[in-house]
Structures are given as C-alpha cells and as structure tokens.
Chains A and B, each alone.
Chain A
Amino acid sequence: MNVKMKPMVGRMLKGAVAAALMSVTCSAVNAAELTIIGHKVHKNVSTGEKGGDFAGEWAKASNSKINWLTFNVQAIHERLFREASLGSTTIDVGFAANRYFAPHFPKMFQSLDEYNAKSPIENFDELPKGMLGALTYNGKLYGIPFRHATGALHINTEIFKEKGVAIPTTFEEVLAAARKLTFKRSDGTNVYGMLLDARNPTIITDFARAMNNGDYLTPDFKLKANSPAMVKAVETVVRMFKEGVLPEAYLNFKTEDVITYMQQGRGAMAISPFGRYRNYNDAKKSKVAGKVISIAVPKSETLKGFNVAPVRTEFWAMLIPKNSDNKDLAWDYIRNAVSPENTIRAAVNGNGPVRPSAYSDQRVKDKVPYAAAEQAVLAVARPPVPGFGNSAKAEDIFVEEVESALLGRKSAQEAMDSAQARITPLLPK
C-alpha cells in the first residue's frame, strides 16, 4: 500500500467502525414500532395479569414497541379497511371478525402462506380448518384465527329447581323446558323461558343447526333461506315469541339485553357465547351469580352424526395490511400470539382459544369451568355464513324478513320465500 493511501484507509476504517457502532446503538434507541388495531378485549387477553403479558414479552424480546389502537367493533373494521386502502399505512396488524370477511381481502391484506413457510406457526395443523377456510381466497391464506365465541346454552339452575324441571338433554327438551319455565313471579316480574339475541340473525341458524344441521347459506354460497329446515327454525322462534316464551321486547334484543335479563334472574335459559358464563356468574353484577351453568346446546334427537348441536362459531382473525411497512415484524407478532403456549395463556386471560388442545391444559381447566363443553362444541361448530361482497345487505334483508314474521305480518314461509327471492341476486356469481 503506498503511503498516501494509508491515512485514507485509516479514515475509511474509522468511518466504517463508527457507522457500525451507530447502527447498533441507533437500532437500540429507535426500536421498531408495531401498530395493532383491534378491540380492547384483544389487548386485554394479550397483556393480562392472570395468564401473563405475552405481547409485552414479545416486544421486549424483539426490541420493539407495540402501539395498541382500540375501537368498538364497527369502528375497528371501518378504520382497518380504510387504512388498508391507502397508499401506505401505519397499521401493521389488524383484527377482523368473521362477519366482516369479504372478497376484497386479497387486495387489501397480505397473503400469509410465504410467511408461514419461512417462519411457521407452531402446530399449525391444529388451527380449525373451518376458520382457515373462511380466510382463504383463491387458495391463499390471508389471516390467522385468534379468538372465537361459540354458542352455548346457559341455564339458570335455580329457576329449573324452582319449577322441578330437569336439565334438558335434547333440543326438543330445551323447547319444552322453555315453555314450562315462562311464568310471572308473585312480585309481578316476568320470567322468560328463553333469551335470545334478536339482532343477530345467526340465532335462527343455530336453531336450524340444532334441529337438523340446517343452513341458511352454505360455504359454497347456496342460499337455503326457504329450505324446510330454516322455515321450521323461523316458525319455532315465532311460536315462542307469540307464546311469550321470548321477552316482550325480543324484537329489539341485543347481546346486552340478554345479559342484563339473565343477570336479573328474568331468564331461565339463554343461548349466547360460552364466555358470557362469566357475566352471568359475576357476583358484582349478577343477582344469580353462581347459579348459572353453561353447556353445549343439545341437538335434536332426530339429528344423527353429532353429539352436540353444531351451532355457530364467530371468530376474530389477525391480518396484515398489504401496505404496512413492518410486515416481517407483524408476522413475528402473530406467530408468537398463536403459539400453543400463548394460546393457553390468552385463554387464562379470558380469551376463547382457537386451539382445541388448549382446553386440555390444566391451567385452562382450572380457570374455565366450561372448558370441556366448549371443546366439544368447537369441534363441530361452523361459522354462521360465509363472507361475501353483499353479506351485510343479505343479513339486513334476512333480519327484516324474520322480524316481519315475528310481527305477524307474514307467515314464516312467506318471509323466507321473500328472503330467498331478495337475497339470491346479491350472491356472488
């Protein structure tokens, strides 16, 4: 090396070392930021006290910072879809509920097969196929399920004892018990045999499923609104309403009202997600705390091939917007969040775990009294309807027709015929 080059090389070397040092210290100072949009409940189960803060632990280990952006359900999707439609977005992980799945996902969200191949999710095969199927478009996977809510039958054992009715084991017995357990108390309050969430059209689907595995819309988009199974389900609910087995205000009943009525001891049974067990037995909020048990919805005695009714399951999945800057980091987070161990920890924090094996873990069994029942149902439960472009419109039409039947303006058959006619043009071609 000639003499003139030495100082230059020396300076270059010094520069290189300095740059290397800077990049190392800078990456420690400027930790990457991961923005997650979801519901507060997702944040709570990922950072909870009982099961542990696995999200926080992941953040420390990966030298990053998690920025939780929480909204109510409708707003989450509104923001997520709008953000994913922009040129670039700060959102890296988005939670979406199966009701909102739509064919525009491939355009807005990252397909995850490549990521899963490179850095696979532990025990990926355990994730429910039905859920993964709902997230697959043109053979590619666009989301990973994280949380599910599956229908259960909640029973106020005190009321059952009061009237000497046995816990039902078939769906027919459920309907009969509901009738027997509708009465007026001496202080004038009404007790209703059954509490249902009217705003949620899938409750009719639940009835159809329990009675003969009926469906309103099959996964391959065949509309069965006026199939005998669905008409029978609608007729059953209408009859219950007319007989006063369902509350007077049923037409406007939301999840909240089911919970409130049950907590106030005004309902003998309720069909709502397993997780509501906690609401009904919360000593601070429920008059009937400790008296409510949650079991799988019994199937009709004529339904073969199932042990329990294959009711609806609704679930949340994690997706990565296509225009995010942190996709690798986002995948790392998702992978960590659905690991078998963290699924168990989330369950202890109150989440509905999508892995059946989680229910066999002792920690979950200790914390979740209905674990065995939920596990059994999860095995056969299906999402209520597949998502498609006009899902929301179809749902609104269905609810409207059912309400017409409940009001007595149409017979169940007429209502379902009308629904069939109105929804068919909206189905994907």
Chain B
Amino acid sequence: MNQHALINNSVKLQQQDPLQFRPAPRQVSTIPVEDRGRPCFSNLQGTFIVHLPADLSVEEWRCEGDFARVVALPISDPIYCVIDSMWLGATGGMHVNVLPKPVVHLQAQLSAVRAQAARRVERLTEIKANLGLSMQTLAEMLHVTRPTLYKWFDAEKLISLQKDSVRRVDKIEQLAQKWRATSVAPLGPWLRERIDGGSSMLDLLMVEPLPTVEIERAFMQIAARIVQAPKSRSARLREAGFTRRASHRSLPSDE
C-alpha cells in the first residue's frame, strides 16, 4: 500500500545552515513517516537528508511550493537530494511518497550470517563424525592448521572460507557420506593402513585434487579389514559381561 508522506522542511532549517536558510511556514502535517523516521538537515552544503524507517522505500519525491529547487533525485536510504537554491521566506515542503519494502534488516543479515556459520559447523561436524577422525587428521585433510580448524568449528566465529577451502570441504563431505554408507566404524584408526601395498588412506586423502575413485575403492578394502579385525580388550570385557559400578553420576536426574 502506498503511503504519502510530507516531510516538512521546518525541521531541517533549525539546524545550523551553511546556506542561511530560514524556516518556511510549517505546512499542515500529514507526515506518517515523520513519527517513525527523522528528517534532518546535513551540514553538507546543499544536501538534504531524509532518514526513513528501514521498512519504507521512496517511490517518488518532489518539492512543492516556494521551497527549493532540487537538482538531484534521492538515491538510497537514507535518501538525499541536492538542493540548488532556497530563498528567504520560502513556503511549501517536500513530498515523499513511500512504499513498504522488503527490507533486509541488519539483524536479518546477522541472522543469515549466523545461520551460515551454524551450517558450516554442522557440515564439518558431520564429516568428522562420519569419518571418525581426529582434529589433527581432519585439519591435514582440509589443508589448514589445527587452530584454524577450531575456528571453523566455532559457530560463534562469523567467518567465510576461501573458495579453495569450500571446494575441498564439499569433496570431503561427499567422501564422508560414501564412507558412512560403507561402514559405521571410524576410519581414523585405519588411515595409515597401506592399500594394495601402496599409498595409505591418509596419503590419498591428502592429495589435491582428491582421487575419488581410488579413495572409494580403498574404502571398500578398509571396510572389509574392519570386519575381520580382532576384538579389542574392552570389547571382550564388555561381551564377557563386565561392567563398572554405578557412580553418583548414574543417579537418575531430578528433572
């Protein structure tokens, strides 16, 4: 819905005025935006700035009456015009037709950045969980330092990854999903295993670009080895029925 707004120039002329403008007789005020916006005068010579509420945009603007001659149209929010001349005893005002606009508020922008950071952490978490890697190994695979990776894992850090890093994360994410489809076990302990007596899994995962076909073949071999691996001592203890005594931390919660 269109909204008509008259910005009365009496407000601006109360400011210190390099052009020595005088207040014009106040017009009948029908300025819905004035309550929400704040017209004011800039000390920039000949520039009039109208601060509009963030949810409104300018549809049209003009001078009316014996007010001033505007030689430039408003450009952005806050809008401004360049006044060519203004004379003593000027009357009239400025009319601004405004429209509600879908404004991207600063808060909304911040929310978008936060959501992006949360998504980044979510994806990295998924990769690390699917592959069952240590921070050190994942940092090596992503070709970054460990402290840098910690920053990536921190949703409070509103950072953007370099293009190369984004590409590498994408690729490794795909591989992590493939490993997840192959085995639920962590890949971490098997990274240094030789594949066909040649490169290790870690060697393959360090290469740029990633040799995906070779890596997927290696996944199959390692998955087969995991199935045949001897049971750990803790697994044997568990299977034999040994359990630890419950501590006070095992008490059911009061909520």
Q: Do A and B bind each other?
A: no
Q: Which residues of B contact A (CB under 8 A)?
A: none
Interface residues of A (CB under 8 A from B): none
